[in-house]
A and B are shown apart, each in its own frame.
Chain A
Amino acid sequence: MQRLLSSEFVHNYRHNIPAVLGSLLVLAFAFLAIFGPLLVWQDPYDVSQLELMDSFKPPVWLEGGHPRYLLGTDGQGRDVLASIIYGARISAFIGIAAMACSCVIGTILGLISGYYGGMLDAVIMRVADIQLSFPSMLIALFLMSAFGNGIGMILIALTAVGWVVYARTVRGSTLSEIQKEYIQAARVAGLSDTEIIRRHVLPNVLTPLIVVSTIQVGSFILIEASLSFLGVGVPITEPSLGLLVKEGFDVLFSGIWWTSAFPGLFIMFLVFGINLFGDFLRDELNPRLR
């Protein structure tokens, strides 16, 4: 631990203001998502806790605001802040879970593709090329409207979109790693292909994935928000940030801006923070820039 704290990585991090800012943002959001429900007084999805009388209250600093509802309420009297915190949990879960799924699947396919080459490689990479020639939003939209919505479906759709980046990154690093003599040494040592992939190739292709994953979580949260906003995302019983924006959007033009603006701002800062941190990681871990 002492070694880590005095390392060059930590030193560079502490002198990189955007990186510190980004990670503070991410940490703050993570804290809210994990402990948030303990901090707000209302569970917006427990009907018994809702006061219909309090619907469409503006934020506390505006005329007519109520100190119980810091950021105002929506049409059913739900506290916007509480909705955001509960919604952020769902958004973050979807972003991270989809990242994990596409990371596992993409890495496995990329390793196979890069290590064995030949026909397998050609097939996997052509599928990836086709995949990349469509906007990822379009693919997700198509899958969601064809097979129905729900969190499980969103994960499948996002994984279908996201594995390509991992597969290509891993294949590229695998191709350069297997040229190196330590892979030949492992073969001379008598290791089987699976052992070589697991013990030698995999640990050496992981670093760039950290960067990809960070950025990926951000973009998954955005895609999910867009899908939900378009009405093909999460079900209404498990509203994510995107769905909150959509619901607020319906009443936006009647002057009730807070129900959609605050979830929207929340998404923006969250993704902004993730990307700032991701950029720092990319600069630090990308050996080509060093």
Chain B
Amino acid sequence: MTQPVLDVRNLVKSFTVGDGIFDRLRFTGGKLLAPPKVVNAVNSVSLSIAPGEVLALVGESGCGKSTVAKTIARIHAPTSGEIRIDGKEVSCLNQKELRPVRRELQMIFQDPYASLNPRQRIKDIVIEPLRAQSDRRMSSSDIDAEAIKLLARVGLNAEQANRYPHQFSGGQRQRIGIARALSVRPKLIIADEPVSALDVSIQAQILNLMMDLRDEFGLSYLFVSHDLSVVHHIADRVAVMYLGFMVETASRDQLFATPRHPYTQALLSAAPNVDKALRKPQAEITGEVPSALNLPSGCCFRTRCPLAFARCAVERPALLPQRGGGSVACHLHDTVPEAFPT
């Protein structure tokens, strides 16, 4: 079996929130304490991506999908867990030790307006990861040539290389962001909601471009999105997150044909659809995502789940492998199939 490009085991990321130490001071049992207020944004998430594979991470706002992405890209440091990129454990490396890892892993960001430095020329932006790798031994003509090549690959022309980001539209900026990620020829690109800020017609262009690049360079993607229909087009496998937990993983076809977790079902049926025939009677879920500061006991989804029963409030369901592939964290699906090798 080939080695996965990305292998994440039991990733946990918590943030301390709240303000300075003085806002947290409390008298507890006669002692003055400043307990840290902790949000568990990501709770023991495991995933792996094979070479050339596209794994989509799906969920609503606040489910921790972006945090997973940014922790793997080591913008945040993980609280615990292992992150292996191309077999190399990176979770404990510091920024300097991470530099060679950046050659394998790059990232595309959500906001095309904030993800490019407004004071840099386009050619400098796209070449930056490469320049960081090559210890500045590149001549400026090499840089220009490489930048123009990269820009051409994403559909921008050479005259545009000397311009600044504000002279481009949202879709063009996202192309620039893709060219930047491509500059070091990484094996894995983490794409954090790369099309959610774009108009529909532009969204299609960017998705097509990303799929072309995958075929051309053998890229793997970790594709973070809230939009299931976008995910359907690009993903090989899908992982659904809710409140920092992974609730279901499955191959694309399986997930869309037979979603098993009630939350996945709700996500699928809640999405508005242009095709009238496809509007299903909705698996109605009510309410909104509870605060991550104050997780419900047991299963996190039970407060909104139409199928919740007594056990859900007591015991947190584990993510268990299922017959026919994939895995689900739900008490309705927690019988391990007998034939399944453990």
Contact = CB atoms under 8 A, between A and B. Distances in A.
Contact of A191 (B74, B105, B120, B132): B132
B179 interface: no
Interface in A169-206: 180-182, 184-193, 195, 199-200, 203-204
Given A181-B110, A181-B111, A192 B96 contact: yes
B119 A187 contact: no
Nearest to A206: B119
Nearest to A179: B114
B115 interface: yes
Contacts of A187: 74-75, 95
A163 to B, nearest CB: 23
The size bracket of the interface on B is 20 to 34
Contact of A188 (B102, B111, B120): B102
A200 B120 CA distance: 8
B98 interface: yes
The size bracket of the interface on A is 10 to 19
Contacts of A185: 107, 109, 115-116, 128, 177, 180
Contact of B95 (A181, A193, A199, A203): A193
B117 A188 contact: no
B132 A190 contact: yes
Contacts of B120: 199-200, 203
B85 interface: no
Contacts of B87: none
Contacts of A191: 128, 132
B73 interface: yes
B11 to A, nearest CB: 18
B125 to A, nearest CB: 8
Contact of B116 (A182, A193, A199): A182
B99 A204 contact: no
Interface string B121-159: 000000011001100000000000000000000000000
A184 B70 CA distance: 9
B43 interface: no
B106 interface: yes
B118 interface: yes
A190 B102 contact: yes
A185 B109 CA distance: 8
A189 B99 CA distance: 8
A185 to B, nearest CB: 5
B75 A184 contact: yes
Nearest to A201: B117
A184 B128 contact: no
Contact of A200 (B73, B74, B117, B132): B117
A235 to B, nearest CB: 43
A129 to B, nearest CB: 14
Interface of A: 180-182, 184-193, 195, 199-200, 203-204
7 contacts: A181-B109, A187-B74, A188-B73, A188-B75, A190-B99, A193-B95, A204-B118
